[in-house]
């Protein structure tokens, strides 16, 4: 384990049959619930910005980034009850999920 901060970015593509407000509900859950988890230093969550550049992939519906103080905290997040609640509530609506973890 390292003491370097870790950013955990997750990109979500929703199923076509997901309720219309699913992306908004995901963002709300991040802001109200995940932001309160011990060890989460920063939460950023949003929808595609509509940036018009060839290198930008805007095909997803929601992207999030969590910043953790270190790898130990990031690892603990994987078994946090809030993380489990998020997966249980929104997981059935995911068509595809990609995760990027990076250290500072």
CA–CA distances in Å: residue 20 to residues 29, 74, 78, 86: 16, 30, 27, 18
**Cα 55 to Cα 92: distance, rounded to the nearest angstrom:** 29
Rg (CA), the chain: 14
Q: Tens of pLDDT along the chain (104 residues)?
A: 678 999 999 999 999 999 999 999 999 999 999 999 999 999 999 999 999 999 999 999 999 999 999 999 999 999 999 999 999 999 999 999 999 999 98
């Amino acid at each position: 384990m390292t003491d370097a901060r870790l950013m955990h970015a997750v990109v979500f593509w929703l199923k076509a049959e997901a309720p219309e407000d699913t992306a908004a509900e995901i963002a709300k859950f991040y802001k109200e619930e995940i932001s309160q988890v011990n060890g989460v230093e920063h939460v950023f969550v949003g929808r595609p910005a509509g940036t018009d550049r060839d290198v930008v992939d805007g095909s997803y519906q929601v992207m999030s980034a969590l910043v953790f103080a270190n790898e130990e905290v990031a690892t603990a997040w994987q078994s946090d009850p809030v993380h489990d609640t998020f997966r249980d509530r929104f997981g059935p609506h995911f068509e595809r999920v990609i995760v990027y973890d990076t250290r500072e």
